[in-house]
């Protein structure tokens, strides 16, 4: 079956003030607090947010002291939930904590020398995917990459009060038209951003909101060569977005996994990332799979690459490694798979060591995607030479 070259694909992103992303950021802030003084912390932290309250639950085993209440409030403050009018604010919200220790049955499987197998095993069974392509210099699919760029620009505009009527909640989606397999133009952009009704007694009109969102956010976030006179802008398409955040829609950790990864352009194994320490392969193996796929594409071995890693709980080595280059590889996919086995350490401990994951680096991942951002170690392309030497 031939691969389509001409099509339109859409992905979405959400802003830091989206209720689900609020919960992701709280969960990862608690993870970072644990790792700060105890790199061996075992954390599986979930969060639920609704009007005026945040519930934190899960399993944490750590020698660190974590001030759950202050961590929640600091996260809300940084996002910008600082007014009772928003339905939740850092000064007055209730914080409930129901944290337990990690199950001893799971712990023995992920602690070296404690389980059936001598080496540190995977924290759960499952399959994780990584992906890379040549749509952007960051080797990310264009629709999700540009969706994140809009959300980052929206945050800048809000925090700097360039548009003084914006509230924290927001989401967007970008449609990209491909021709001959490459991004050609953006036919449509959808952006919904929470806003005030009044600022200093002045009624904010829909026309002012629409113009501000287009001119200060969308057009400044997107490459000018991809938008044209026929690009359609759906700005706050319901006409009003005053009630939002956890008041408008309850938030939950791990509900934006496609936003976190590749916007639907590649497979996702199903496990969420935020609130999980790196012994959990849901997170760490997804980072390794991205690292592998990106190095394969950066080495020009393929124009597009998807990598699957699959694990059994308590077992160190993956049960399978799968590479799919969508018929863009310069060598057979089977040969690339062999090179992956030989050049990358795929055990949980090997992944953690390779990417140096026992550090408090996770809070920034919880908004604007986990991939395509150079500050994260899984974005390094330091395996290019080794892969080229073996395969090209």
Choosing from 282, 303, 306, 379, which is the catalytic residue?
Answer: 282
5 given a catalytic annotation: no
N- to C-terminal Cα separation, the chain:
26
Choosing from 256, 283, 290, 370, which is the catalytic residue?
Answer: 256
Choosing from 152, 158, 167, 255, which is the catalytic residue?
Answer: 255
197 given a catalytic annotation: no
* Inter-CA distances, 85 with 39, 73, 81, 241, Å: 39, 16, 9, 13
171 given a catalytic annotation: yes
- Whether 120 contacts 348, CB under 8 Å: yes
- Could you tell me whether strands 304-311 and 320-324 are parallel, antiparallel, or unpaired per DSSP bridges? antiparallel
241 given a catalytic annotation: yes
The DSSP line for 194-250 is EE-SEETTEEPPHHHHHHHIIIIIIHHHS-GGG--TT-EEEESTTS---S-HHHHS-
Choosing from 38, 40, 59, 119, which is the catalytic residue?
Answer: 59
Choosing from 139, 241, 371, 376, which is the catalytic residue?
Answer: 241
List, in order, residues 6 or more apart from 376 with CB less than 8 Å away.
Answer: 287, 361, 365, 370
| Residues written for the chain | 392
Choosing from 18, 42, 152, 294, which is the catalytic residue?
Answer: 18
- Could you tell me whether strands 94-100 and 166-179 are parallel, antiparallel, or unpaired per DSSP bridges? unpaired
Choosing from 171, 193, 290, 294, which is the catalytic residue?
Answer: 171
Choosing from 12, 16, 20, 32, which is the catalytic residue?
Answer: 20
Choosing from 82, 156, 220, 250, which is the catalytic residue?
Answer: 250
Choosing from 9, 12, 16, 21, which is the catalytic residue?
Answer: 21
338 given a catalytic annotation: no
196 given a catalytic annotation: no
255 given a catalytic annotation: yes
Choosing from 16, 24, 32, 46, which is the catalytic residue?
Answer: 46
376 given a catalytic annotation: no
Count other C-beta atoms under 10 Å from residue 117's C-beta: 15
240 given a catalytic annotation: no
- Whether 385 contacts 339, CB under 8 Å: no
Choosing from 38, 119, 249, 333, which is the catalytic residue?
Answer: 249
Choosing from 42, 193, 280, 294, which is the catalytic residue?
Answer: 280
- DSSP reduced 3-state for 81: coil
180: left (phi over 0), alpha (psi -120 to 50) or beta: left
91 given a catalytic annotation: no
- Whether 14 contacts 21, CB under 8 Å: yes
In the block, residue with structure tokens 């497979």: 267
In the block, residue with structure tokens 């992956």: 340
- 364-45-248 Cα angle (round to 5): 75
21 given a catalytic annotation: yes
158 given a catalytic annotation: no
Which residues are known catalytic residues?
18, 20-21, 46, 59, 171, 241, 249-250, 255-256, 276, 280, 282
């Amino acid at each position: 079956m031939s691969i389509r070259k001409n099509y339109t694909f859409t992905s979405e992103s959400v802003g830091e003030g989206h209720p689900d992303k609020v919960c992701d950021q709280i969960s990862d802030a608690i993870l970072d607090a644990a790792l700060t003084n105890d790199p061996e912390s075992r954390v599986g932290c979930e969060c639920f947010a609704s009007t005026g309250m945040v519930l934190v639950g899960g399993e944490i085993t750590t020698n660190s002291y974590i001030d759950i209440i202050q961590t929640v409030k600091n996260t809300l403050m940084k996002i910008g939930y600082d007014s009772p009018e928003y339905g939740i604010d850092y000064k007055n919200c209730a914080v409930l904590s129901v944290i337990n220790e990690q199950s001893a049955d799971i712990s023995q499987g992920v602690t070296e020398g404690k389980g059936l197998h001598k080496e540190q095993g995977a924290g759960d069974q499952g399959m994780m995917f990584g992906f890379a392509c040549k749509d952007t210099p960051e080797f990310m699919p264009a629709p999700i990459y540009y969706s994140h760029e809009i959300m980052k620009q929206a945050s800048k505009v809000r925090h700097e009060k360039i548009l003084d009527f914006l509230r924290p909640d927001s989401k967007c989606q970008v449609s990209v038209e491909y021709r001959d397999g490459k991004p050609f133009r953006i036919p449509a952009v959808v952006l919904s951003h929470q806003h005030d009704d009044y600022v200093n007694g002045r009624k904010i009109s829909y026309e002012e909101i629409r113009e501000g969102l287009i001119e200060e956010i969308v057009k400044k976030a997107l490459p000018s060569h991809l938008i044209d006179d026929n690009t359609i802008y759906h700005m706050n398409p319901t006409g009003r977005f005053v009630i939002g955040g956890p008041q408008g829609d309850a938030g939950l950790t791990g509900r934006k996994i496609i936003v976190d990864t590749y916007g639907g352009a590649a497979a996702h194994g199903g496990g969420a990332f935020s609130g999980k320490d790196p012994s959990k392969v849901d997170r760490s193996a997804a980072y390794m799979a991205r690292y592998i796929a990106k190095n394969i594409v950066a080495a020009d071995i393929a124009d597009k690459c998807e990598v699957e890693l699959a694990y059994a709980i308590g077992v160190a080595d993956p049960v399978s490694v799968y590479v799919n280059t969508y018929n863009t590889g310069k060598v057979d996919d089977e040969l690339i798979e062999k090179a992956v086995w030989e050049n990358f350490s795929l055990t949980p401990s090997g992944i953690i060591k390779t990417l140096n994951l026992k550090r408090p680096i996770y809070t920034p991942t919880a908004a604007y995607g986990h991939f395509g951002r150079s500050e994260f170690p899984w974005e390094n392309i330091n395996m290019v030479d080794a892969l080229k030497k073996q395969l090209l």
